[in-house]
Amino acid sequence: MTVQEALKSARERLRDVPEPKLDAECLLSHVMNIGRLDLLMDKGRALTNGEAAEFERLVALRQTRQPLQYILGSQSFMGFPFKTDARALIPRFDTEALCEEALRHIRPGSRVLDLCTGTGCLAVSIKKLRPGAEVTATDISGDALALARENAEALNARVRFLRGDLFAPVGDESFDVIVSNPPYIPSGLRGTLQPEVEKEPPLSLFAGEDGLKFYRRIAREAPLHLAEGGFLCLETGDGESEAVAQLLRQDFDGIRILPDLGGLPRVVSARKKEGTKP
């Protein structure tokens, strides 16, 4: 079987997934340990028996709508490779807009807190790109924290990881920047999402009837953990940015709503008001 024949067969079998052509190429590139461009430039190359068998296995797995990133075991975020598996939410490119906004406010010596860290993609990327910052990350999931620690170790990023519910693990500590991509999907949508999304940890997806459960808590508790003039940066779900901004108006000013790579409102950034409760 040649590369061209393998890709054609896989595209047909994966016709029900969102991007069958791309997925087939990514899977075969992974199996043959070559880049997609090299793969496409040598379509007449014959697969070994071992490569053909492994490709068959992965395509069959993808047919079950197992997320591609879980099958491949990694996902790029801010230019860094992050290990991905079913222990945590898959990093999305749209979340890079959140990371970039947080980076704008981080200086050498800044104390940074990442809530609901998941794979650690935000915390680790911030530490890599702002090595002078002190970065702490929390998550209620022990499995997610284990994965985040593996990613930090693999990327040689010194991040303090703490297990617990939002701010609980940091006690009365304060930070200069707080960043979070919390769960934000309304619970009523469970069972209606793309099959791949439904295979990610429910703990990282759903947030009460209106999806704002964690934003309400963060808006209430963040001022207690932000230094004077500190910044809060949040990713928001579709159609939630204005509601989240409204939640922040009592204790924050300089509120900005920023777009993701597709131009949709995705990030809410705000500065703690002067004189706000410590």
Q: What is the pLDDT of residues 95-128, one digit of tens each?
A: 999 999 999 999 999 999 999 999 999 999 999 9
Q: Which residues are CB-neighbours of 188 under 8 A, at least 6 positions away?
A: 209
Q: Count of domains in the chain?
A: 2
State the CB neighbour count (10 A cutoff) for residue 106.
21
- Mean local confidence (pLDDT), 218-244: 96
- Mean local confidence (pLDDT), 178-192: 95
Element at 48 (helix H, strand E): none
Residue type, 31: V
Across-strand partners of 212?
none
- Which of 64, 90, 117 terminates a domain? The answer is 64
Is residue 195 located within the same domain as residue 254? yes
Element at 12 (helix H, strand E): helix 3-13
Residue 70 in any domain: the answer is no
- CA 245, chain centre distance (Å): 21
The pLDDT of residue 277 is 60
| pLDDT band at 261; cut points 50, 70, 90 | confident
Is residue 38 located within the same domain as residue 156? no
Residue 200 in any domain: the answer is yes
208, 211, 213, 217 alpha-carbon torsion, rounded to 10°: 170
CA distance 271 to 20: 43
Is residue 15 located within the same domain as residue 125? no
The pLDDT of residue 53 is 96
Is residue 21 located within the same domain as residue 115? no
- The pLDDT tens digits for 154-183 are 999 999 999 999 999 999 999 999 999 999
Question: Looking at the predicted structure, is the pLDDT value of residue 278 above 80?
Answer: no
**Domain coverage including residue 173:** 77-272
- Which of 15, 37, 64 terminates a domain? The answer is 64
Residue 277 in any domain: the answer is no
| pLDDT band at 276; cut points 50, 70, 90 | low
| pLDDT band at 206; cut points 50, 70, 90 | very high
Residue 69 in any domain: the answer is no
The percent of residues above 90 in pLDDT, for the chain, comes to 95
Q: Give Dmax over CA atoms of the chain in angstroms.
A: 70
The pLDDT of residue 170 is 97
The pLDDT of residue 98 is 97
Question: Looking at the predicted structure, is the pLDDT value of residue 222 above 60?
Answer: yes
Residue type, 188: G
Is residue 116 located within the same domain as residue 36? no
User: Residue 149 in contact with residue 214, Cβ under 8 Å?
Assistant: no
Is residue 199 located within the same domain as residue 88? yes
The percent of residues above 70 in pLDDT, for the chain, comes to 99
Is residue 19 located within the same domain as residue 85? no
Is residue 147 located within the same domain as residue 204? yes
The pLDDT of residue 274 is 83
Is residue 32 located within the same domain as residue 161? no
Residue 71 in any domain: the answer is no
Q: Mean pLDDT in the chain?
A: 95
Is residue 151 located within the same domain as residue 19? no
- The pLDDT tens digits for 51-96 are 999 999 999 999 999 999 999 999 999 999 999 999 999 999 999 9
3-state secondary structure of 241: helix
- Which of 39, 64, 89 terminates a domain? The answer is 64
CA distance 226 to 118: 22
The pLDDT of residue 122 is 98
Is residue 177 located within the same domain as residue 108? yes
Question: Looking at the predicted structure, is the pLDDT value of residue 41 above 60?
Answer: yes
Is residue 151 located within the same domain as residue 188? yes
Question: Looking at the predicted structure, is the pLDDT value of residue 246 above 70?
Answer: yes
- Mean local confidence (pLDDT), 131-143: 98
At 109, which CATH number?
3.40.50.150
